[in-house]
Amino acid sequence: MLRHFQAKSETPAVKERVPVRPSRFPDEVRGAIRLLEDALARRGAFPPSPARSVAGGLVAASYNVHKCVGTDKRFDPGRVATVIAELGADVLALQEADRRFGRRTGLLDLHAIERRTGLHLIPVSSTPGGHGWRGNALLVRGGRASHVRRLALPGAEPRGAIVVELDFAAGPLRVVAAHLGLLRRHRALQAAAILAAVGDAAPMPTLLMGDLNEWRPGIASSLAVLEPLFGPFGDPVPSFPSRLPFLALDQIFGHPRALVSPPEAHDSPLARLASDHLPLRARIDIAAAHVAMQALVAAA
């Protein structure tokens, strides 16, 4: 038996060549999986946070209301309205605020929201009874719209943005509210179209808010084209999915940088239930932004 063992051990080993298989997932999916693993590891360490005030200035917020269907699959516009009241926003961009099929009528009781919060709808819809343009709606408190433009964004899906110039006591403010597409190449085209629309308009402090459907940072991001105007971008703020947020799909950008403070996710217990996205909110300082813009013009 020993001789047999020695004979086998002395036989030259044949190295089997195992073909190298490509990864099952592209880099962007592996990156998302890593973020999900990190979120799962932290689960339970950070319970839903209570509603917090954003000190000073006005409050801007963005909220994809998921056509008022919550994470429990229930259609309940009342819950969404309560989350909107929690935000304390002065400027609020909504996505998926209208029905997707048939007559694209609005889903929220805007009169009740206005009575409760003071927010009123800026009319942008081309459909009677609609809240927005391709699902994008803008609600404002204390400001008046002086100019409204609807943008049809390129891509296979019917995506759009609205560009609204508002007059506040502190000065004018432009708000771009958008919902970008699911494909990276379409988002890049859509971001470029928004940048061109802002570039064609008069210089003014500008907010870009919405569900931009992009979570990757740096040069891999389809939003990199926006960075010369709205950058440098800050740390990502995960907002999706609402019950375990690990993807930073929603954004609030400002130009100049003095306009907007770092945004935060509004992670209340009801916000985790009312939609599959958490709202984002941030403080905006229109007066400081106008001073910064004057300095930029003087330096140019």
> In this predicted structure, what is the pLDDT of residue 11?
41
Q: How many CB atoms lie within 10 A of CB 4?
A: 8
Contact (CB, 8 A) for 81 and 112: yes
How far apart CA 163 and CA 19 sit, in angstroms, is 53
Q: What are phi and psi of 80, to 5 degrees?
A: -60, -40
Q: If you search the block for the tokens 């999916």, which residue do you land on?
A: 29
For each of the domains in the chain, give its residue range(s) and CATH number, in order of start: 58-299 (3.60.10.10)
**3-state percent breakdown (helix, strand, coil) of the chain, nearest 5:** 30, 25, 45
What's the Cα-to-Cα distance from 177 to each of 49, 50, 164, rounded to whole Å? 26, 26, 8
> In this predicted structure, what is the pLDDT of residue 9?
40
Tokens found for residue 300: 């140019």
> In this predicted structure, what is the pLDDT of residue 103?
77
Nearest by Cα to 62 from 268, 249, 252: 252
> In this predicted structure, what is the pLDDT of residue 20?
45
Contact (CB, 8 A) for 120 and 141: yes
What is the mean pLDDT, run by run of 10 residues, along the chain of 300 residues? 40 45 53 60 50 64 98 98 98 95 87 98 93 96 97 94 97 98 96 96 96 91 95 94 97 96 97 98 96 86
Burial of 300 (0-12, 13-18, 19+ CB in 10 A): exposed
How far apart CA 45 and CA 48 sit, in angstroms, is 10
Tokens found for residue 181: 């597409």
Helix (H) or strand (E) holding 108, with range, is none
> In this predicted structure, what is the pLDDT of residue 298?
84
> In this predicted structure, what is the pLDDT of residue 53?
42
Contact (CB, 8 A) for 208 and 251: yes
- Supply the pTM of this predicted model: 0.83
Which strands make up the sheet holding 144-152, listed edge to edge? 144-152, 160-168, 171-179, 206-211, 250-255
> In this predicted structure, what is the pLDDT of residue 143?
96
Tokens found for residue 23: 């990864």
